[in-house]
Every structure is written in structure tokens, then in C-alpha cells.
Amino acid sequence: MNMGPGPGRGPGGPNDLYEKMKPPKPKHLREVPTYLRTVVGGVFSRLLYIFRLVWEARPALLFVMSFMALFNGFMPVAGTFISAHLLGRIVERLNDPTVDLWVPLLLQFGYTFLYFLVNDVYKVVMNISGELVTNHVRVKIMEKAKEVDLASFDQPEFYERLENASREAGTRPVTIVNSTFGMVSQLITMISYLVVLGGLIFRLAWYASVFALLFILLSVATALVGFYFRRQKFLYVRRKSKDRRQMNYYSDLMVNKDLVKELRLFDLSDLFIGRYKGVFARYFKGLKRLVYKETAWNLSLGFLTVVVNCVLFFIIASNIGQIEGYTIYTGALNAVSTAVTTVLTTIGSIYEGTLFIDNMILFMREKKTIRSTLPEGAVPERRKGHRIELRNVSFSYPGSDRMVLKHIDLTLEPGDTAVLVGLNGAGKTTLIKLLTRLYDPTEGTVLLDGRDIREYEPEALYRLYGIIFQDFGKYAEPVRDNIYFGQADAEPTDEALENAAREASADEFIRRLPRGYDTPLMRYFEPDGVELSIGQWQKLSVARAFYADSDILILDEPTASLDPMAEQELFRQFDRLRKGKTTVFVSHRLSSAVTADKIILLKDGEIAETGTHAELMAKKGEYYTLFTTQAKRYLSPDDTA
């Protein structure tokens, strides 16, 4: 039985959510107004979301931007009149040397100084505020990632949205808000200049008005072409997201410090560079076609605009007697043309930006399902022994119909030590994820101390477990922090940290490090960071579990990277650590299962056998075959004869 569509798939998934956010395309002409209203409404709703983000981060930034929108809207008009007045006085002075230029020059200087001063201060404010907004958005993304279900991270679509949100959402909000206020400035400028041009229309021949209108219409057409191709590029980039992920994957492979040895030894570098180039060529081909089309349109419209511009300026020059008037009117005409183009281009930029912000909106709407089924979550009792029971538990991963676990019935009594064994892919790690409620079962129930595990508050439940997974965490932090993270909500003490390290047989190698427990690990940030062997890392992860002093131990291949002697030492330490505690561990080395209270052999997602080592060996079934086959590897031919 399938648990249904997961994140990114099927009804209710984020991809479905994105499809719902997109307005259905009109099938008939009468549907176009409704479609446009829906599109515009979508843009405004996303724009309001962006403004809210900026307001949450720094409210004063919106007030500063509002002032700058007014300032930059009216200043160009004032500048045109000031420049025209100065130019007119200069022409007068050519005929009359007594004409005074100091007042218009001081006015021009004051205007220029004020304009640059205000805008330079604004740049400083924007740089500081931009960092604050970026930080705010990143924190929101991290806070959301903290509570999103593990199942979501298993979906490529979700992870792509998370990466896009992290990469783009930090800088886009400020850019979009700034562009919006910039558009307001351009609208103020354009309206002001249109008032100026209104007086000119009545002074020129009728055909001048036609050319003026044509000049503005060409500016609109140029902007609309830019808007159209901007959208086409956005849609192309979205359609080709797989190509972009592949390019990122191949380029990341070449700079991955953990893979560089294998790439060199197997001579794989040229292979992956070639694959990167192949994907890029396919991706770039379509993008280049769009660029060529856009260029052709822009050149054609640009040529027409130049022709109309020349004719119109000739008409104005022929009918305006004063150079001051010519300067004002031609400046106004150019400004209106520029403003129209800028406004429409900015609208396109804002529209594109709001589309990209969908990544963050969808990510922030991701639903959390791993929560208590009770209004107020139950808190499990802290004690050493806990009873764990699985009743008819089956599981398939989100978006998949393949059942990883099928009808599992299992009971672990308080203090039991259970070992999960079986071939790779049998479902051992998945079973541990269900025991710890990183996933909920597709069907059936997991009980802890007789209570459905879903009734407990997840955070309180997680504190019961001391867990070491196969892919344990390796943190670029000092050694002591890598141990302390086992119980990060407690005040760390040197004695407890060192005891945990000794229990995990890690204290000896830690003391040989350059700075002992304060040695930074990995060379991501510190030049003297130390790279540990995988076995040393594993000992640190075990020390982290010891430090947690949790009620239930979950160990997924805890000794996979240790040599046999270190493994034996560690199991002796485990015997002390697990005393009285319920313990579950996965192991491929069946010698570690000999002393377990219960051995559970999984095969194809089902429990094939269960019992003690002696019981299963006497049965001579699947476990017997696995154990004897593995034992032969450690015996000489004479011993096995």
C-alpha cells in the first residue's frame, strides 16, 4: 500500500502547488481580461510578499526608498530647466558681455552637488540594508529548513527549489523593491516632462505631434520586445533546469576535494569536462537562438527610432526660436522616451524577479507532516528501558510505489539489544528511520511504551535517541564541538567530553592532534585544520553518542570503518554504555550479533528470521548461511575442511 504522493509529486505536492499558482491560459478572446487580471494579481501578491520581507528586515529602508523615488523623480526635470537656463544665459553673454553667469552657475553647481550627495548616501544605505535583508532571508530559509520533513529532502524538485531560494532570494528582494521605487521615479519624471511637452504640441504643426506620438510608440514597442524576450529566457531557463543541474554537478565534481584522488587515478577529469561541455552546448544553443531574435528586433526598432528622432528634432529646431526652449523640449522628449522604455523594462524585470521569488514562496509553504497528532504533544518519559513495538508496518518512499518494508511485526522489550542484519537494500536503515520517526509508515503503527509514536512531540522524542548513522555528520568545527553536538542543549564540560572520547577510544588520537580537543577539523575555514581518517571520524561520531547519554541507542554500522581490534574494543565499550538501555544496531559483520538478545534478519523488506544467535544457527536457515559464509573469510582452508 502506497503512502501516496510525496513532496514534488502528485496532487498536493509543491509542483502541483506551483501549477495552481499559474493562471490557466485563455482559450477564447473573452477570457483575456480575466487572464490578465489573474497575472497582474499574481505579480502584485508576490510583490507584496517581497515588500513584507524587506519590512521585516529593516522597515526604515522602505521609507528611504520612498524619499528617493520622489527625489529622483523630480530632480531630472529641475536639472533640465537649470541647464537650459544656464545655456540661454551663455548665448546671451556672447552678444552682451555684461550678462551675469554666477547665479545660473551656482544653481547648476548646487543641483549637481545635491544630486550626487543624496545618491551617494543612498548607495551606502542600500549596501548596508541589502546585507541586513539578505541575512534576514537566509535566516528564514534556515529556520524553515529546520522544520521541513526529511522526506522533502529526498525529492529532487524540492531540493532544487531550496537551492534556488538560497541562491536568489537573498539578493532579489532588495533588487526588486529598488526597481519598483525606481519605476515610480521614472513615472514621476515622465509625467512632469509630458506636462512640459503639452505646451509644445500647440506651437508646432500637426505632423509634429504625429512624429512625437510615433517616437513614444517606438519606445513602447522596444520595451515590450525586451519584456517578451525576458520572459522567454526565463521560461527557457526553467525548462532547462535539468541541464543547469547537470552542469553544476559536473563542475562541482572537478573541485570536490573528496573526489579529486579518484578523478586523477581513474583519469576521469577529461570525461566529466567533456560531458559538461556537451550539456552546455545543448543548453546554449536554445539560449543563443533567443538572443539572436531579440537582437534582430532591437536593431530594426532602433533604426526606426533614430529616423523618427532625427525628423522630430528637425521640426522642433525649425519652429523654436530660442536655444533655451529647444534644449527644454528636446530634453523633455528624450526623457519621456527613456522613461517609457525604462518603466516597461523595469516592469519586465520586476515580473521576472517575482517569478524567481516563487522558489522561496513554494519552499516556505512546504507542509510539515512530522508533528504530534495531539493538540499538545505528549512528552516521553526519560528512563533507561523503553518498549518498542511495530504492528503491521509497511513503507514506501514518497513518489515511489516500491514497498521498502512490508508488514513488519516486531517487539523490543526494555533493555533488549537487537541487531538488524541482511543484505544491502533489505530495508535496515529505513526501519531505523521509522523507529526514530524521521518518516511515518505508509501503513501500520510504531509504538513506544505502548503509545503511538506519532502522539509524541517530535523534538522531545528525538532527545531519547543516541544515533550514529552510516553517513554520520562531519562538522568543520573543533574536536570538542564535534563531540558536544551530541547534546547541544546542555552546558558542555571538559570532563564529560573527555569521558565520552575515552569511551569511544578516541581520546588517544585526539591528544596527539596539534591543539588537542581545540583542534579545528577540515580545511574549510582554518589553514591549520586537520583532516581525519574515516576511522577517526567514526570514533568521534561514537563519542558524540556516548556524550548524549540517551535512553535508546540506534547504531547504523557504527564500526564499518574500524579495524577488527578497534571494533572489539568499541563493542566492549558499548556493552557498558547500553546496560539497561534498549539498543538497536545494524551490522554487516555478523560476529557482532552473537551476544544480542534478538537478531532480526531482513530480506526484501520483510522479516525472514528472528531469534538469538544460537536459535538461528540451529535453524540452519538464511542467517546460518550468511554467518557461515562470512566466517569462512576469516578461517584458513584447513580450519574449514
What is the tens place of the pLDDT at every residue in 109-150? 888 898 889 888 888 888 787 788 888 888 888 888 777 777
* Number of structural domains in the chain: 4
Going edge to edge, which strands form the sheet with 388-395?
Answer: 405-412, 388-395, 443-448, 451-452
212: left (phi over 0), alpha (psi -120 to 50) or beta: alpha
| 185, 225: one domain | no
Question: In the predicted model, is pLDDT for residue 24 greater than 60?
Answer: no
Candidate ranges 163-172, 343-352, 356-365, 404-413; pick with highest mean pLDDT: 404-413
Compute how many other C-beta atoms are within 10 angstroms of the C-beta atom of residue 487.
18
The residue type found at 368 is K
The secondary element (H helix, E strand) that includes residue 424 is: none
Q: Are residues 281 and 177 in the same domain?
A: no
Using CA atoms, how far apart are residues 261 and 183, in angstroms rounded to an integer?
A: 53
In this structure, of 52-61, 446-455, 521-530, 566-575, the range with the lowest mean pLDDT score is: 566-575
Do 395 and 279 lie in one domain? The reply is: no
Arithmetic mean of pLDDT over the chain: 78
On whether both 124 and 44 belong to a single domain, the answer is yes
Question: How large is the average pLDDT for residues 265-273?
Answer: 83
Q: What is the mean pLDDT of residues 407-414?
A: 91
**Parallel, antiparallel or unpaired: strands 582-586 and 598-603:** unpaired
Q: Give the mean pLDDT of 315-338.
A: 63
Write out pLDDT tens, residues 498-539: 988 988 888 989 999 999 999 999 887 788 888 888 778 888
Q: Pairing relation of β-strands 417-421 and 582-586?
A: parallel
Q: Are 415 and 384 in contact (CB under 8 A)?
A: yes
Q: Is 138 helix (H, G, I), strand (E, B) or coil?
A: helix
- In contact, 83 and 108? CB cutoff 8 Å: yes
Residue 585 confidence (pLDDT): 84
**3-state DSSP helix/strand/coil percent for the chain, to nearest 5?**
65, 10, 25
> For residue 187, how many other CB atoms are within 10 A of its CB?
17
Whether the per-residue pLDDT at 555 is higher than 50: the answer is yes
pLDDT at residue 545, as a whole number = 81
The whole-number average pLDDT for the span 276-282 is 91
Note the pLDDT of residue 122.
83
Please answer whether residues 173 and 50 qualify as being in contact, where contact means their C-beta atoms are separated by less than 8 angstroms. Answer: yes
Query: In which element (H, E) is residue 463 found?
Result: none
| Dist. CA 588–CA 562, nearest whole Å | 13
* Pair 374, 193: CB distance under 8 Å: no
> Does 445 lie in the same domain as 458?
yes
Interatomic CA distance for residues 203 and 298, integer angstroms: 33
- Please choose, from the candidates 587, 567, 575, the residue with its C-alpha nearest in 3D space to the C-alpha of residue 415: 575
Report the pLDDT value the prediction gives residue 583, as an integer from 0 to 100.
Answer: 87
What pLDDT is recorded for position 388? 92
174: its cell numbers: 532588495
**CA R_g for the chain:** 35
Q: pLDDT tens for residues 461-476?
A: 888 888 877 777 888 8
Question: How would you classify the pairing of strands 443-448 and 417-421?
Answer: unpaired
Q: Which of 514, 549, 584 is the last residue of a domain?
A: 549
Distances (CA, A) of 415 to 15, 363, 382, 383, 582: 45, 41, 14, 11, 4
Which of 182, 202, 222 is the last residue in one of the domains?
A: 202
9: pLDDT strictly greater than 50: no
pLDDT tier, 631 (very low <50, low <70, confident <90, very high otherwise): confident
Q: Which residues pair with 370 in a beta bridge?
A: none
Q: Is residue 363 part of a domain?
A: no
Report for 167-171, 217-221, 310-314, 392-396: range of highest mean pLDDT: 392-396
Task: Using pLDDT thresholds of 50, 70 and 90, give the confidence band for residue 15.
Answer: very low
Strands 582-586 and 405-412: unpaired
Q: Are residues 72 and 188 in the same domain?
A: yes
In-domain check, residue 362 = no
pLDDT band at 17 (very low <50, low <70, confident <90, very high): very low
Q: Compute the distance between CA of residue 592 and CA of residue 631 in angstroms, rounded to an integer.
A: 12
List the 552-556 sheet strands across, edge first.
465-468, 552-556, 582-586, 417-421, 598-603, 606-611
Q: Residue 479: give its domain's CATH number.
A: 3.40.50.300
Higher pLDDT, 292 or 580: 292
* 490 and 609 fall within a common domain: no
- When comparing pLDDT for 87 and 19, which is higher? 87
Beta strands in 254-404 (DSSP E): 388-395
pLDDT in the model for residue 39: 54
Confidence of residue 448 (pLDDT cuts 50, 70, 90): very high
332 in a structural domain: no
Q: Is the dihedral of CA 88, 94, 100, 101 positive or negative?
A: positive
Instruction: Mark whether 492 and 586 lie in a shared domain.
Output: no
User: Which range is most confident: 78-82, 102-106, 339-343?
Assistant: 102-106
Note the pLDDT of residue 13: 42
Q: Provide mean pLDDT across the span 446-455.
A: 92
Residues whose CB is less than 8 angstroms from the CB of residue 265 and which lie 6 or more positions away in sequence, other chains included: none
Q: What is the pLDDT of residue 519?
A: 92
Sign of CA dihedral 567, 568, 569, 573: positive
State the pLDDT at residue 451: 92
Residues 99 and 151 in one domain: yes
Pairing relationship of beta strands 417-421 and 598-603 according to DSSP bridges:
parallel
Asked if 387 and 442 sit in the same domain, the reply is yes
Arithmetic mean of pLDDT, 408-436:
88
Whether the pLDDT of residue 355 is over 80: the answer is no
Express as a percent the part of the chain with pLDDT over 70: 79
pLDDT digits (tens, 9 = 90+) for 607-623: 999 998 999 999 998 88
**314 is in which domain, residue-wise?**
204-319
Among 66-70, 290-294, 560-564, 585-589, name the one with the lowest average pLDDT.
560-564
Residue 37 backbone phi and psi in degrees, to 5: -60, -40
DSSP β-bridge partners for residue 555: 468, 585
Domain stops at, among 167, 202, 237: 202
